[in-house]
Chain A
């Protein structure tokens, strides 16, 4: 017994700690960066990216490396990989409505198209994924179905996060019935409501 204990301690000294590449995927303005910021701030005190009501605020992959997430006696190191929102269309005139100049809007649209391409490419570089959906929106959206279908085809573990439960018309049940084969967690990245259950499920995801 004592010998076994000795070997356990001895080998654990040389065993490389697992680093999980956690991707944040989803449609535009679902709150991927808000959730990545909340997690990053909870465990490192720093945020990861900027958040805006203007669509396509995240237009490049943003990574926060070696975020140690602790929950009870569980502990894991994560690379948080926040990806640009995936869309099938981008019209620069939509940005004009948010007060951007024509030049800024065109540039934002150009960067946004590149961001979508990059986000899809990065599916090759993640170990597990949080699919972040806006729980106030209809989940039967082709972008959501395409993202989840691609993750299933690559056998990448998925946890669906229904964000914005603080908003009145939020419905987690609607997401659950759209994707019955997946675990769905409702939370508010804005208020922090639901984060405890989320962290528990996160450890189940990477088990």
Chain B
């Protein structure tokens, strides 16, 4: 039987109200189900560091870790940037997105300023 890839989208509304620790638990729970997660919004650097620490704690025979990439939501228009900053203050940061996949499936996520490529293991 052919195996497919499963992508799961997590909107900001689903995890925005959780604290960092619970958010990371939820992310790892989904990734450990061998799903590739697309999260609305860019994870903060401090949260990414916490995610790496938590991932390291959970590595075992089955779970080898994660591949992660964050994509900026850029806009060159100054007016739109001001509106976005206000929106961030009121509703939280929904700009950009974060891709997280299990290392057993995702070999590498290559990123450069203009594109993102996700390579899977055979």
> Which A residues are within 8 Å of any B CB, using their own CB?
86-91, 109, 113-114, 116-117, 120-121, 123, 138, 140-143, 145-146, 148-150, 152-153
Contacts and interface: CB of A to CB of B under 8 A. Distances in A.
B88 to A, nearest CB: 16
Contact of A90 (B46, B53, B65, B112): B65
Nearest to A87: B65
B61 to A, nearest CB: 9
Contacts of B52: 86-88, 116, 120, 143, 146
B38 interface: no
B45 A89 contact: no
Nearest to A123: B49
B99 to A, nearest CB: 9
Nearest to B68: A142
Contacts of B66: 88-89
Given A142-B69, A153-B45, A153-B46, A90 B59 contact: yes
Nearest to B66: A88
User: Among A86, A91, A145, A146, which residue has the most Cβ atoms of chain B within 10 A?
Assistant: A146
Given A89-B103, A91-B103, A150-B49, A140 B112 contact: yes
Contacts of A90: 56, 59, 64-65
Interface string B62-74: 0011111110000
Contact of B70 (A87, A91, A142, A148): A142
B111 interface: yes
Interface string B5-30: 00000000000000000000000000
Given A88-B66, A89-B55, A113-B57, 20 more contacts: A86-B52, A88-B52, A89-B103, A90-B56, A113-B56, A113-B59, A114-B56, A117-B53, A117-B56, A117-B57, A123-B49, A140-B110, A142-B48, A142-B70, A142-B109, A145-B45, A145-B70, A149-B48, A150-B45, A153-B46
B57 A109 contact: no
B46 A138 contact: no
Contact of B64 (A86, A89, A117, A148): A89
A140 B109 CA distance: 10
B4 interface: no
A113 B61 CA distance: 13
A121 B55 CA distance: 14
Contacts of B48: 142, 146, 149-150
B63 to A, nearest CB: 9
A113 B54 CA distance: 10
B16 to A, nearest CB: 20
Given A109-B59, A138-B110, A89 B67 contact: yes
A109 to B, nearest CB: 7
Contacts of B69: 142
